[in-house]
Structures are given as structure tokens and as C-alpha cells.
Amino acid sequence: MKQSRKNSTNGKSIPLFASLKERLRADRPTVAILGVTFVAAVVIVVVSTQFGSVLPLLRVSDYRVGSVAERDYVVERDILYLDEEATRLKREAAGKLVLPIFRVNERIGEERLQRFSEFRDRLIALSRQESALDTIFLRLQVDFPGILSREQLARLLETGQLNAVFAEARLILDQLFETGLVKLPEQDSDLLSSGAVELWRWTGGRLVKEEVSLEEVLTRGNLEAWIEERFPEVPAQLLTPTIDLVRAFAVENGFYDAEETESSRRKVMEEVEPVQAKLVKDQVIVRRGDIVDAETAAQIRALGEYSVTVNLNSIAGNVLFLLAVFLLALFLFQERVVGLILKRNQIVFLAATALIFLLAAALLGRFFTPGQGIPMSVILPTATVSILVTLIVCTRAGIALSLILALLVLPLTGMDPYALLFVLLTGVAGTAVVQQAERRIDLVRAGLYLSAVNIVLLVLFVLLQSTGRRWLLPVLGWGFLNGFASSMISLGFLPILEHALNTASRFRLIELSDLNAPILKRMLSLAPGTYNHSISVANLAESACSAIGANALLARVGAYYHDIGKIEQAEYFIENQTSYNKHDDLKPSLSAAVIKSHLKVGIEKARELALPQEVQDIIAQHHGRGIIQYFYQRAVDNGNSANVSSDDYSYQGYRPRSREAAVVMLADAVEAATRTLKKPTVAKLEKLVWDMIMEKFTSQELSDSQLTFRNLETIKKSFVQVLAGYYHSRIEYPKVKEAAR
């Protein structure tokens, strides 16, 4: 039975974003409101963050190094600026930390190994053909001039193990060229000041980059020690000739890559975050008569640039951040989250409240600073917003808006997490402390509770930031002032907003529930039966709504006013008649028209009285589209039933679209029906009540409400309990004379 509500284009019953496409098509004014809100928020944040401290009297040229300051200058707000000198030093240091890059050339090694193989083959062939050392040496000089000296060749041949020596040498050369024989610069202390190099080589089809200390770099100077350390398995008798061969064919294949090194250094230097210095509010940059030094000139130059430049990255970041907050707000204020469909005036109220709060945060943050360790947001009456939204819209909306406001202040406070937490927590606290408020004086008491919460939060923040005990008294003062002022401001604005938005807030409903209201006193005077009927319906509806978790106060007020359209023609309604029934002299169709007219008259009176829309809806919907059965049946009995249309005898109102309106409809029908019972019992009441409820259900009168079958069962039990109290049996007291016997 629980159904989704239909959209309409009047802005009063459209879910706040079932889909953007539907919203654009169905309710363009609301979309325009939201668009203007987003643009306004962007403007406020951008102007506040980019042009916070304009310095019209400051001319940078008046503050050159060595000049005398003509006036004092005190910083008006906290400003971060780029420290160019510190940034330069930081980047230079980062660049020097980049290791020089040496790249191993694989082709050099391949060519030398090929030459080594040719030399091996030639020498082995000559050793087999010739026996004279000089002849072999001369033939080698023809093909491989200068490779080995005569003494080295003699040592090699004397081993008698050429194949073994060449095998050991080849193994060493393979490892040497793969490791890289590096040619270090002879004179460049700055290049090697880091004590290490970065060696790039191709291994297994991939480029390997290895950091190697200078002591471990393989060079010609430590080649022999490297061989002895890496190849201890070479036989002692073969070691010297093997080293001779390796030295003969080992050429440097690792060279300094200046271009790659410089490119890496530039990249690292570019990635270094600029050093930001901070000018603190009330900081004295220069006094009149002081000599301007280099540091002061840099601060003044940065300050002058800050006042006229725009940080595009900051603007883009703020816009994207606000867009994310805006999308979050669209999600939070959906019906399934806040629990109700927001009307257009409520959307305007929420949007205007958020913008006013954001503007206040920007202005107060510009002119006031609470003190070290105390968040800037302590000067904002955030709880005022959450209290007003809670009382005017609903609790969930108050909590949701507290989160949105907490996020909105972040760009204005330099992304201060303590500011966010204070706004969020004090906003939620403001929502919590007014949950049980039923009188306006309760807001004063809520302000005291809120002050206590604020003090606890601020003390916690000061302790977490280790600010010091000297801030304890300011914390107590700010906490109390913020909480109490928030409740007082909300107390002042609440009546204005209640009437401006014509909302069914708790306090407004309590005021309307006063039976001394002129319209109700008029009803008591002119239509006493209707008045008593309305009181009984109110009791039934209030009890049932409390049982199913609906708004019981709204149901009571709606029941009080649901029949105000009967006041002017009270004598045409049965509950106000004593003996003569005017409908006896009227045609059924005319009687039905008179009965139906009380809905239209009631709605007009409700508008004249400026009753909340929710109450007006109950008045318009409490009969739904039901048939006026008595006069319809009379018409059928008096004439041709084929010529009698049920539409002529049906109410022209709307079916109930809320649980409260549906409960008032059921209470109205049940209360009237029970008056016809003779000697009512609980069993009779249960049957009558359930029959009335099911009659409304089967006639589709409850199809647009949000009542479930479980709700209907609960409503039945509640009605029976109240009615049983009305019609309870009484003790029949004996007469006085009989008692005296």
C-alpha cells in the first residue's frame, strides 16, 4: 500500500533530485535557485581567499632595500607567500643530491670481446705452428699491434695452458663489460661530491639503474684488486698472465652522461615544493624610521603581489571542492535521507541560510580572530542555523546542513580540521538540545546546554594543540558566548521565519493548538457539535499518530481545524442539529452540494488565517474523494438510479498524501460512525473501526498515503482504546431514598 509520491510542477511535492533530468524538466525554478546558490558560494569563497587583504596604501617601490620606512605597516591577516631565496637554496640542494649518471655502452664490450676471440684463435694457431718466441711475437704485432709486450707474451706461453688462461680471461672480461669499466672525471669535485654515482646498464633486455659508491665503482685503477676479489678461483700460476690479458682487452665502457644527469637534476628541482613563509596577523613588518633590509623587502614585495595576484590553482581547487560539497548536499537532502519531500520555500530557506552563514564566516574571519588554539569557527553562531533548520524543517535536515556548513568553512580557514570539527559538532549539538523543546523558553535552557558542549569542545581543542593554560579563560568565554548567543539569535528569528515560511514548526503548532484561538471559539459558539466532534477527532488522531510514529501534534492541530468550513452553515450538519433537519426540505443534489462546500470554504478560511500548508492539506484531504452516501442513496431511492451519477455526490478534494492526513480522515469517519452505536462494547468498536478502515482502503482513499498494513492495525487498536475510554460502562448508583432504607 505504501506508494511513491507523484511529482508536480508547483515545487511543493517533487523529490529534491530523483534525477537531474526530471528536475530540469519538472521544476526549473528550483534548479535555478540551486544554480544561483552554487555560483554565489563560489564567488564568496574565491573573493575571500584571493582578495582578503588588499593594500591600497602600500607601494612596493617605497620599501627598497636600504630605504627608510615612512610609516608602520602591520599585517592585517594571516598570509602565506613564496620565500624565493629559501626556495632557491632548497632546489639547489636537491639538485646537488642527484647522483651523476654514468651509462654503460654495451657495444664497446661486444667489440672488445670479438677482438679477444680473434686474438685467442690467432695465438693458439701460432703456438702450434711456431716455437720461437720472437717469431710468434712479430706475427702477433702484424695482426694485433701493442696488445701484449714481449715479456707478457713470454709469461703467457710459459704456462703451457693457453686454453685455460684464455677461458679465465674471457670469463672475467664478460663480467667486467657487464659491470661497466667506468671512466671517472679527473678533476670535478662538485660532480663527485656526493660520494656515489648512478650506473645505468642494460641487463636481460631491461635498463637497470644502480646506485654505486665511488669505492665500489670499477675503474682501471682498481681493476686488479677487483679481479682478485671477484675471481679467487683462478689458479695462482695463471693469475698474472690472466690479468695481463684482461688489461690488454679491457677498455672503459662506462661514461658520464651529462645530458641525462642535467635532465634528472632539472626534474628533481622542479618537483621541489616551494618554501612558503607566513605573515601572521598583527605582525609588524616594518616600523616608521627603520631601515628596510633584504628580508623585509622580500616580505613587502610578496605582500604587494599577494594583494593583486590570483592563484588559479587555488581557485580551481576551491571550485571543485565546492562542487563536491554541492553534490553531497543534493544527496543528503533527498527524501530518503531527510525523511520528507522538501518544498520550494524550504529549499530556498536552506540555500539562503547556507549562503548567509558562508558570507558571515568570510566577513568575521576577515575582521576577528579569537586567539591562538581556538578555531576561527568559534565566532560563528553555527548552532543558530541547526536549531532553526531543526525546528522549521526537521532534525535530519539540521544534521545534514551542519555537515555541509562544516565543509563550507574549510576553504575560508585554510583547511583547518579544528574549525570543521567545531562547526560540525556544535551544529549537531544544537540539533540535539532542541529535540524536546515545546516552549520558547526551552530555547534558553537549550542555550545553556549548548554552551557547556562548546566549552568542552574548545577545552579539548586547546589541550590537543598544547596551547597552554593561559587560554583557559578565553575558551570558557568563547564557548559560553557562542552557545548562549546561538540560542538567543534563534529565539529571535524563529517567529519571523515561521510566519515567513508558513511552516508547521513545533512551536507554531503548539500556538495553533490553543483552543482559545478566535476561530475555534467561534466554532464553539456557532457550531458546538462540530467543535465537540473536532475535539474527539483530534484525540483519536493524536493517539494513533503517536502509535505509528507520525507527527501527533500536526494531526491534533489538523483535526481541530479540519471542519472550520462548517461554521457559517452549521445548521446543515447533523452534529449541530437539535430537532429540525434542513435537508428534509432540500433535494439530495442540493444537500450534497451544501455538504461538499465545507471543504472549499474551509480551505479559503485556512488561507485567510495563514495556516501552515500541512494543516491546509489535512483540511483539503480529510474526506478524500469519498461519496456522501446518505444523499446519494436518497437520490437513488427518489428517482431513476441510472440518471444519478456518483461523481455528483462525491467530495472533490484530494486523497490523503501524508500519514497525518490519512489518520485524520480515518478518525473523522470512525468518530462519526461510533455515534450511531447503541450500547457500544469493545467487540462492537473493534468491528466498526476495522470495517471503516477497510472501507477507506478498498475505495482507494489511502492509496496515496504512506500507511502500511501494520500501521492500519496499530491505528485500529489506538482508536478502540480511546473510544473504549469514551464509552466505558459506569456504576449505576442507587437513589438516595433507596440507600437510606
Domains parsed from the chain with CATH numbers: 343-503 (1.10.1760.20), 508-726 (1.10.3210)
pLDDT of residue 236: 87
Amino acid present at 194: S
625-641 residue pLDDT tens: 777 776 766 776 676 55
Taking the alpha carbons at both ends of the chain, their separation in whole angstroms is 63
Q: Is the pLDDT of residue 650 over 90?
A: no
Contacts of 512 (CB under 8 A, 6+ apart): 557, 560, 561, 611, 612, 615
- Computed over every residue of the chain, the mean pLDDT equals 81
pLDDT of residue 27: 65
522 grid coordinates: 467561534
Q: Is the pLDDT of residue 59 over 60?
A: no
What span, in angstroms and rounded, lies between the C-alpha atoms of 11 and 342?
9
636 grid coordinates: 437513488
Contacts of 474 (CB under 8 A, 6+ apart): 370, 371, 374
pTM, 2 dp: 0.59
pLDDT of residue 167: 93
Instruction: Name the pLDDT band for 6 (thresholds 50, 70, 90).
Output: very low
Closest CA to 314 of 280, 352, 276: 276
Percent of the chain at pLDDT exceeding 70: 83
- Bridge partners, 296 (sequence order): none
pLDDT of residue 597: 80
> How large is the average pLDDT for residues 111-124?
92
Contacts of 417 (CB under 8 A, 6+ apart): none
pLDDT of residue 11: 38
Instruction: Name the pLDDT band for 307 (thresholds 50, 70, 90).
Output: low
Q: Which of 437-441, 487-491, 596-600 has the lowest mean pLDDT?
A: 437-441
> How large is the average pLDDT for residues 367-394?
80
